Amino acid sequence: MRVLLIDFNPFMVAATPISLGYLGASLKGHGHEIKVLSIGSTTNFSPTAFKGFIREYSPDIVGFGTYQRSIFHINAMASLVKEATPETFIVLGGPQITFLPDDSLSVLPAVDFLCRGEGELITLAVVDAILSGQTELPVPGITSRNPEGGYFTGSPVPPPKNLDEYPSPWLEGVLDPADMDESIMLTSRGCPHVCAFCYTPAAFGRKIRAHSVERVIEEIAFVANRGSGRLWFADPNFSFSETRVVEILEGIARRDLKVDMWIETRADMLNKDLISLMKRAGVNVIAMGLESASENVYTHLKKNLDPDRIRQAVEMAFDSGLDVELFSQYALPHERFEDAMQTLNFVKASGVKIRGNSNAQQMQIYYGSEIAADPAKFGIKPLRDSFQPCMAIGTEFETEWMSKDEIDRIKAAWKIESLDGGKRVVA
């Protein structure tokens, strides 16, 4: 079966489609023909050219990695696919798709399947259903339309406990680092913390599943030797286990791999020795979640992290010659305008350059997070009476503590302080 996997981010330049790479590796391992495309804001194509390509490639399935803010762009793209090859099945996947209401399909006419959970196994189930002609029956892990005008949702597909069961997109040749400026790595999934605004624990579980150290080092060595050596780790908490991260970093250092790494981790997982080892191994940038520097706010986020601890971690990183990025948000629960300014001033005082990922963004409310489940409980006041079924509140809200006007003002305040006009890389 011929499967085309498309990562389409209309808001940023194209990046390594690591998640689709995993799906591709899984499908390839089962003998299917796959092609992975990453399309970004600067990818140049006309709708006419895109349809021409689809007609020529003629895929049986097109899978899209989807986020809420790109969902209608992807629906439009799916429509182009259907215009070009009406018999092609369209699947949407991605962590935010897992939590979409079933009737989202009512506003996504070009979409056939919503993938609920990790796509590596579920996509195989879709392929099986298509091959056996059973697409009008429930498919495990999938929501689809039923012949009665309603929806099926197949039984959940539990992900494997051992992440190494998923074949590597790098080692299997699905993604090729040779021509990439930067390669994204994903060595673990899940997060044990329960930040109210985040859907990661719901999507991937609170127990972290990680690739073995051997697998990680093998992937890093492959990517470093074949590509530019610039690695960007998408793990929510790269250093969740000090033992593991030390083994990985020492493995990199021991093999003398020439890498330039970006990692994201919690400030309370860092210490001087670890930072020093990171530097030796080739980490150049550490990104940490600050969210808010105001006590009025962070205590309500369930992040359990004091800004002083973050300040110390920033200083330690700077002392070791590392660059630091801080993720911050505004319009958080309990946050007044003054609190938001306190966060901006904290970042300025920390010496972190306000650019790229250190540009703050308005909190985004997506299905799967605790806030999305009960916005009123967190003082969220949506700006619309109703939303399309596939749309959570996103950024269309004000709060009990901050009006829309104040949110716009804090956004402008960050933009003025920004060195790059406020272009954030990680959403």
Binding region for other proteins (CB under 8 A) = 7, 13-17, 36-50, 52-53, 71-73, 75-77, 79-80, 83, 107, 176, 178-182, 388, 391, 412, 416, 419-420
CB of 262 to other proteins, least distance (A): 14
Distance of CA 153 to the CA centre of its chain: 24
How many residues does the structure list for the chain?
427
Q: Which of 214, 51, 242, 23 is nearest to 115 (CA)?
A: 23
Nearer to other proteins, 44 or 132 (CB): 44
Nearer to other proteins, 286 or 391 (CB): 391
Nearer to other proteins, 184 or 248 (CB): 184
CB of 390 to other proteins, least distance (A): 9
Nearer to other proteins, 128 or 396 (CB): 396
CB of 400 to other proteins, least distance (A): 26
CB of 387 to other proteins, least distance (A): 10
CB of 45 to other proteins, least distance (A): 4
Residues 6+ apart with CB under 8 A from 41: 9, 10, 11, 12, 13
DSSP codes joined into one string, 189-239: E--S---TT--HHHHH-SS-EE--HHHHHHHHHHHHHHS-SEEEE--TTTT
In degrees and rounded to multiples of 5, residue 194 shows phi and psi of: -130, 50
Neighbours of 345 (CB within 10 A): 13
The residue to which tokens 């080692």 are assigned:
171
Nearer to other proteins, 363 or 391 (CB): 391
The residue to which tokens 């020529």 are assigned:
56
In degrees and rounded to multiples of 5, residue 394 shows phi and psi of: 60, -125
d(CA 297, CA 63): 39
Nearer to other proteins, 7 or 291 (CB): 7
CB of 28 to other proteins, least distance (A): 16
